[in-house]
Amino acid sequence: MNPLLQDFNTAPFSKISNDDYKPAIKKAIEIAKSEIDEIINNSSKPSFENTTVDLDFTGEKLNRITSIFFNLNSAETNDEIQKIAQEVSPWLSEFRNDITLNEALFKRVKTVYNNRKNLHLTPEQEMLLEKQYKGFARNGANLNENDKSRLREIDTKLSKLSLQFGENVLAETNAFELHITKEEDLSGLPESAKEAAHQLAKEKNKEGWIFTLDYPSYIPFLTYADHRELRKKMAIAFGAKGFQNNKNNNEKIVLDIVNLRHQRANLLGYKTHAHFVLEERMAENPEKVISFSNELLEKAKPAAKKEFENLEKYAKKLDGIDQLQKWDGAYYSEKLKKEIFDLDQELLKPYFKLENVIDGVFEIANRLYDLHFEEISTIDKYHEDVKTYSVTDTQGNFIAVFYADFHPRSGKRNGAWMTSYKSQQIKNGVNERPHVSIVCNFTKPTPTKPSLLTFNEVTTLFHEFGHALHGMLANTTYNSLSGTSVSWDFVELPSQVLENWCYEKEALELFAKHYETGEVIPMKYVEKIKESASFHEGMQTLRQLSFGLLDMKWHSENPSEITSVKAFENDAFSETKLYPDVAENCMSTAFSHIFQGGYSAGYYSYKWAEVLDADAFEYFLEEGIFNKEVAIKFKETVLSKGGTIQPMELYKSFRGKEPKPDALLKRAGLI
């Protein structure tokens, strides 16, 4: 029997073989189609219950199976899984179109929608109905037959292209290694980085040390290696992903994706892809996003230029470097930071043993939201590195299943993300609780040391855990409005707000303890962490804004005339550029957030949410970072509500007013 087609609670990873996916997905699509047919063929007149609610509950089996499959395609993939993904993606995009372009189904949805004023619906029911109706209208339900088939064609192509894009980036990441055999070439590198590189070389049966483009290997190398030519080699390899003359080149894929997205938007009656996307976001339209970005740019640019000039002077004074290059930035920044604040990232790492940081984030969640995490071994996992937890509240009620997967592997894409295997919903009177997962790429333990995190990795863990809380504390009726199913420029608020606790003495004392002595992190370090938090904030802000503006430029103009990805990108970066261009490098060809993930025309949302998070955290600071009343208010107005109410309304019900960028600018030291 196919384990994916059985009824299961937690994902049955160990029972699944790759041969199970295609038949299971095929069968689950058939089941979902018959559920849709039941709604269409219902002889009773369309009502909220027999149409809107029934439709929200369709495809449950399919969602569970595909979430397992695509989560593994990101966290534990192989050639076979990638091949299956290429085959099943078109089936799924065709199935989605079968629903949104189904006239009989849309007719029923429209009937309920047009009668909504007489139905006495709750705000959540109204939101479900509106999102459902818009889901049809915004995805072609009102098109004629010719345009519908063109839309299907575009969607199928897009789903295949974004998969191919991601596969190419992963292949490029895995293809490069810097093999060092001379000890003097390691000068400047911390012991932990050398030890990890030596271990990797050993695993590959080679002498010496191997560095890769995986973040835990790449970032320390760029930050600490004294050997400038080798830093250059690493940086160029990193920036050349998808931009080399080989089978993994993504240039044509980028142009195909942006053109298809533009055509799709036009077909649906929108000026550009960004206009289509932003209609359903807090930001509303590209003009607003661009003006928001430019307003921040105006504040950040003078600071960034000044920081850059100082860094350049510093590099010249230290090593006689006339022109600062991209592979020099992290290296000299770290040295300068150490000099100014007397703060060395390597000195901090012993205080951030992974297990302690996990306990710390759990303890903070306990103090704020009364959650209790217990590691359990009874749940199936897809890799031995994965940790599994049962989450309960203070009364012992079951809240969620939590998976955490922390270390890099060859089958895992770079970066960090949160995802889920099962959404929360209330069905047949039962509150079905969610299964949530976070995936990161932190330094692995070595024979002599546990996994010790950089401070940056600590904030990454808190960030993803903030998303996880949004998923775990979900408490809505309908799964399509549950947890992180919120407007995309609101989704980063819970994640970014939690990062603030990493800078607070009261929170750090809970978990920042030396892994050998148990000594709590000295207060002088905590003060230095806080002081240095806004170090080079102008440059950091400029960098984030440059990514958001590049994304907007790809998606808010007609791309049909673009012939060179690189030239277009250089033009987009003209206002935010500090370092000289590197001819062999291109950002867009590996910009997975917008060409593989869901951030197209949405990358600005990180900065947008920073405005929200700085403003929200100011409230916690006023009342105390563990103030129960503020925490409960945040849980009840933001974390548990999902997408049931417009985000600005949720925010105002928490904060009592709309957010202003002042708190962010103040925190960043820009005013």
Q: Which residues are catalytic?
A: 464
Cβ atoms of 442 and 602 closer than 8 Å: no
Phi, psi of 398 (to 5 degrees): -70, 130
What is the rounded CA–CA span in Å between residue 553 and residue 572?
A: 7
CA–CA distances in Å: residue 201 to residues 210, 407, 408: 5, 17, 15
CA–CA distances in Å: residue 575 to residues 133, 297, 589, 644: 40, 9, 20, 39
Strand locations in 394-469 (E): 398-405, 417-422, 425-427, 430-432, 435-439
Cβ atoms of 292 and 283 closer than 8 Å: yes
Q: Is 354 left (phi over 0), alpha (psi -120 to 50) or beta?
A: alpha
Query: 10 Å Cβ neighbour count for 122?
Result: 10
For residue 388, give the 3-state DSSP assignment. strand
Cβ atoms of 571 and 318 closer than 8 Å: no
CA atoms within 13 A on the CB side of 466: 24
Cβ atoms of 600 and 585 closer than 8 Å: no
CA–CA distances in Å: residue 56 to residues 218, 472, 478: 44, 20, 7
For residue 603, give the 3-state DSSP assignment. coil
Phi, psi of 571 (to 5 degrees): -65, -45
First to last CA, the chain: 64
Longest dimension (CA), the chain: 82
DSSP string, 500-566: GGGG-HHHHHHH-B-TTT-PBPPHHHHHHHHHHTTTTHHHHHHHHHHHHHHHHHHHSS-GGG---HH
Residue 589 is classified by DSSP as: G
Residue type, 329: G
